[in-house]
């Protein structure tokens, strides 16, 4: 239930607003704030008939502590909250749906309007193409062309209809001729037409101030070759009428801009005459930024929609490019107009909310009336009960919680009557019991005195026991001190043994590592020695090869000698061969000398290798026979050293365990003695407490006896009070 405070009916709107804020729905709160709750209350007052006002006054509506007012306020708040939430959701959904529908429909209308305008322009272009396809025009003979131009310009109501050849020489339907400057920007559409394209350009203003557009089509001969251009100036009156007829709603209108953003067609002709360009104007006037952004999208050839500001009004615009042209169409309308139905829906929801509040208040009055009657009866019942009238019963015929409450109160009152009768009887019995209790307390005092004497004897015996225990405890303390010293020495020995074991393990580890390194070195050295011996074999092979070379050089020398002999025999013809034979002989001698040198060097190398091999083999044998065996001995010694450490450690551990057992036994004995002392002290304290408690009990017994007498007096008074109840 809401916590209520007392205030007048005129304060109800602010109260409801404050309660709504507690629901933490900012969007809904912002929407509901727009509803004038004072208006709602005024409407409620208008619906109040004199009879209803009398009923409200009789039910105490002006007092906000009344249950009736609380029910009415809560129901009204609930109705306002529900209707407000549903209304806001309905408005928001309607707004979004309508916005989407209008956006889609206006975009479709913009596209269709663009197509319609494009169709109109294309129709003009088709008419021009038909004229250009006439034989008189294709002939490019001015005498043949001018009559046709004059006749068609008059029939089609063209401002002018002209023919231009490839050099820019132009003939008008009146027969006048002029030279066009094809290099100027104004003649761009004519250059495009000469390239075979159909062009629509404008708008322009002629000398009469009439707005016109130019349509240019190429003139092609029978071989489809461009021979000239047919162009016309057409009044935009029909186009303006068409665009102005494309209205949307009451305030909506269409407009057209070109690729520079300049107004081509607009309902405000002044903007067209002045060449208004929103995109350029927005650089100076920031209020036109939103419209300039939309027109910027238009000249990019996009289709779409958006919002913009026009003075103080919010406007909506849909836009689309006009096919086959450099123009772009936009349709704009006031935002208020398109969302007018949403405003109407909002007011309908407010009206329905007011009706529901009135109905809710009426229902609340009926509910409050049904609640108030049984509450009055319950109040009368409470007043009778305050007068000690237990024979009064409440009569509520309603078959609801009030009826059940009335029945329960009647049953409870019957039970209270029975309880009071029982209390009267019990009070009489209490007087009798009180006298008996006094006699019992006198007997208990005598027995407590005997218990107090026995407690004193127990305390003296316990004191003697404690004196004997103190001597034993002192001896146990000395034994414990000696055992602690032994334990410390044993622990020191254990630490020393651990150090010995650790050092032995380290020696063993280092020795094994050194042995492994030496073995690796031994293996690697053996392999290297074998490889060296293999290399020596290669050197021996070199010696053999050198011997063969020496033998070959001897044979070559003999051959050279024979050649010299033969050359001598040949005489003059063998001189050249003699020179060759001598050179070959010299080479043979040099080869023999080099072989001798190589053999000497190889012999020296072989001797050195043999000596090195013998030394290496001796060193390896020494490593294998002496050093490695010494390493094995060191490892065995370290193992024995470590094993001795383990044995000594086990002896120390056994001794330590025995010491610990003795120490734990002494500790247990000490703890037992302490527990005995504690028990004795507790017994002493207990005995003292017993004595103290007995004295307290004795004093309490006296107090209880006094209270018993007082209870007897109060029981008499209670009987006197109970006689007041009408049972």
Confidence of residue 230 (pLDDT cuts 50, 70, 90): very high
Q: Is the dihedral of CA 246, 251, 252, 254 positive or negative?
A: positive
CA distance 204 to 212: 5
Looking at residue 253, its pLDDT comes to 86
Which of the residue ranges 22-36, 82-96, 479-493, 702-716 has the most confident prediction, judged by mean pLDDT? 82-96
Residue 214 has pLDDT above 80, yes or no: yes
* Rounded average pLDDT over 470-481: 66
Residue 687 has pLDDT above 70, yes or no: no
If one looks up domain 404-720 in CATH, what number appears?
1.10.287.950
According to CATH, where is 1.10.287.950 located in the chain? 404-720
Looking at residue 24, its pLDDT comes to 41
Confidence of residue 403 (pLDDT cuts 50, 70, 90): confident
Confidence of residue 229 (pLDDT cuts 50, 70, 90): very high
* Rounded average pLDDT over 218-224: 89
Which of the residue ranges 21-25, 34-38, 106-110, 134-138 has the most confident prediction, judged by mean pLDDT? 134-138
The tens digit of pLDDT for each residue in 541-561 reads 666 766 777 677 677 767 767
Asked if residue 371 lies in contact with residue 67, where contact means CB atoms within 8 angstroms, the answer is yes
Confidence of residue 218 (pLDDT cuts 50, 70, 90): very high
The tens digit of pLDDT for each residue in 180-200 reads 888 888 788 888 888 988 888
* Rounded average pLDDT over 367-394: 74
Tell which CATH classification among 3.30.450.20, 3.20.20.150, 3.40.50.2300, 3.40.50.360 matches the domain 137-342. Answer: 3.30.450.20
User: 617: how many CB neighbours lie within 10 A of its CB?
Assistant: 13
Nearest to 100 by CA among 305, 279, 280, 281: 305
CA distance 78 to 363: 13
Looking at residue 539, its pLDDT comes to 60
Confidence of residue 624 (pLDDT cuts 50, 70, 90): low
Q: Which of 93-97, 170-174, 262-266, 427-431 has the lowest mean pLDDT?
A: 427-431
Looking at residue 482, its pLDDT comes to 66
Looking at residue 626, its pLDDT comes to 63
The tens digit of pLDDT for each residue in 276-299 reads 888 888 888 888 888 889 989 998
CA distance 714 to 431: 10
CA distance 83 to 593: 130
Looking at residue 520, its pLDDT comes to 74
According to CATH, where is 3.30.450.20 located in the chain? 137-342
* Rounded average pLDDT over 436-442: 67
Confidence of residue 459 (pLDDT cuts 50, 70, 90): low
The tens digit of pLDDT for each residue in 89-139 reads 877 787 777 778 777 888 888 888 888 888 888 888 888 889 889 988 888
Asked if residue 613 lies in contact with residue 537, where contact means CB atoms within 8 angstroms, the answer is no
* Rounded average pLDDT over 141-153: 89
- On average, the pLDDT of the chain sits at 73
CA distance 631 to 515: 6
The tens digit of pLDDT for each residue in 635-646 reads 777 676 667 667
User: CA dist 310 to 332, 334, 339, Å?
Assistant: 11, 9, 17
Confidence of residue 702 (pLDDT cuts 50, 70, 90): low
Looking at residue 272, its pLDDT comes to 81
Looking at residue 202, its pLDDT comes to 74
Instruction: List the structure tokens of 105.
Output: 């429909």
Looking at residue 571, its pLDDT comes to 67
Looking at residue 683, its pLDDT comes to 66
Q: Which of 11-25, 68-82, 191-205, 569-583 has the lowest mean pLDDT?
A: 11-25
CB within 8 Å of 15: residues ≥ 6 apart: 7, 73
The tens digit of pLDDT for each residue in 294-336 reads 989 998 988 888 888 888 888 888 999 988 788 899 988 888 8
Residues belonging to the chain: 727
Residue 228 has pLDDT above 90, yes or no: yes
């Amino acid at each position: 239930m809401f916590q209520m405070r007392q205030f007048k009916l005129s304060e109800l709107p602010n109260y409801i607003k404050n309660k709504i804020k507690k629901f933490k729905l900012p969007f809904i709160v912002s929407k509901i704030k727009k509803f004038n709750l004072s208006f709602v209350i005024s409407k409620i007052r208008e619906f109040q008939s004199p009879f209803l006002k009398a009923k409200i006054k009789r039910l105490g509506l002006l007092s906000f502590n009344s249950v009736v007012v609380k029910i009415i306020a809560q129901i009204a708040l609930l109705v306002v909250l529900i209707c407000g939430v549903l209304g806001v959701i309905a408005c928001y959904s309607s707004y979004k749906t309508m916005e989407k529908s209008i956006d889609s429909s206006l975009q479709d209308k913009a596209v269709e309007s663009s197509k319609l305008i494009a169709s109109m322009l294309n129709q003009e272009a088709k008419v021009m193409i038909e004229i250009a396809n006439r034989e008189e025009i294709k002939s490019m003979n001015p005498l043949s062309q001018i009559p046709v131009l004059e006749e068609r310009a008059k029939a089609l109501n063209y401002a002018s209809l002209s023919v231009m050849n490839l050099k820019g020489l132009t003939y008008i339907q009146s027969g006048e001729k002029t030279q066009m400057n094809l290099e100027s920007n104004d003649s761009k559409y004519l250059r495009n037409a000469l390239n075979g394209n159909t062009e629509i350009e404008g708008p322009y203003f002629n000398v009469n101030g009439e707005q016109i557009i130019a349509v240019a089509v190429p003139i092609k001969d029978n071989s489809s070759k461009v021979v000239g251009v047919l162009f016309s100036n057409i009044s935009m009156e029909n186009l303006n009428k068409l665009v102005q007829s494309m209205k949307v709603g009451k305030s909506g209108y269409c407009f057209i801009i070109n690729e520079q953003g300049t107004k081509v067609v607009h309902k405000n002709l002044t903007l067209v005459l002045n060449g208004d360009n929103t995109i350029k104007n927005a650089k100076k006037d920031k209020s036109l930024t939103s419209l300039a952004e939309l027109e910027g999208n238009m000249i990019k050839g996009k289709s779409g929609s958006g919002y913009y500001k026009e003075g103080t009004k919010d406007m909506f615009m849909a836009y689309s490019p006009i096919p086959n042209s450099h123009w772009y169409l936009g349709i704009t309308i006031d935002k208020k107009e398109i969302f007018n139905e949403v405003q109407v829906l909002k007011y309908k929801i407010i009206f329905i909310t007011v009706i529901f509040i009135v109905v809710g208040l009426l229902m609340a009055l009926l509910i409050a009336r049904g609640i108030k009657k049984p509450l009055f009866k319950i109040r009368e019942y409470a007043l009778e009960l305050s007068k000690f009238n237990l024979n009064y019963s409440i009569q509520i015929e309603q078959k609801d919680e009030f009826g059940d409450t009335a029945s329960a109160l009647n049953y409870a009152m019957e039970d209270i009557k029975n309880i009071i009768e029982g209390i009267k009887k019990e009070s009489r019995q209490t007087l009798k019991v009180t006298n008996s209790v006094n006699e019992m307390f006198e007997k208990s005092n005598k027995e407590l005195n005997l218990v107090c004497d026995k407690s004193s004897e127990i305390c003296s015996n316990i004191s003697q026991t404690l004196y004997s225990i103190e001597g034993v405890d002192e001896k146990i303390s000395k034994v414990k001190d000696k055992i602690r010293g032994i334990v410390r020495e044993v622990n020191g020995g254990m630490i020393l043994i651990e150090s010995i074991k650790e050092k032995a393990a380290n020696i063993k580890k280092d020795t094994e590592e050194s042995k492994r390194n030496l073995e690796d070195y031994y293996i690697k050295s053996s392999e290297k020695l074998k490889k060296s011996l293999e290399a020596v074999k290669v050197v021996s092979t070199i010696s053999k090869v050198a011997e063969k070379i020496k033998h070959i050089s001897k044979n070559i020398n003999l051959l050279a000698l024979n050649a010299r002999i033969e050359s001598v025999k040949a005489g003059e013809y063998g001189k050249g061969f003699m020179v060759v034979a001598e050179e070959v002989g010299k080479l043979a001698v040099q080869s023999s000398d080099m072989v001798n040198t190589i053999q000497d060097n190889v012999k020296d190398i072989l001797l050195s290798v043999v000596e090195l091999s013998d030394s290496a083999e001796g060193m390896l044998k020494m490593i294998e026979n002496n050093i490695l065996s010494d390493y094995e001995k060191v490892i065995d010694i370290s193992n024995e050293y470590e094993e001795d450490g383990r044995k000594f450690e086990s002896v120390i551990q056994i001794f330590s365990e025995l010491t610990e057992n003795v120490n734990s036994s002494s500790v247990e004995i000490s703890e037992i003695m302490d527990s005995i002392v504690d028990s004795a002290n507790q017994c002493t304290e207990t005995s003292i407490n017993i004595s103290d408690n007995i004295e307290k009990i004795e004093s309490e017994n006296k107090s209880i006896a006094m209270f018993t007498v007082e209870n007897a007096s109060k029981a008499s008074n209670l009987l006197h009070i109970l006689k007041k109840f009408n049972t």
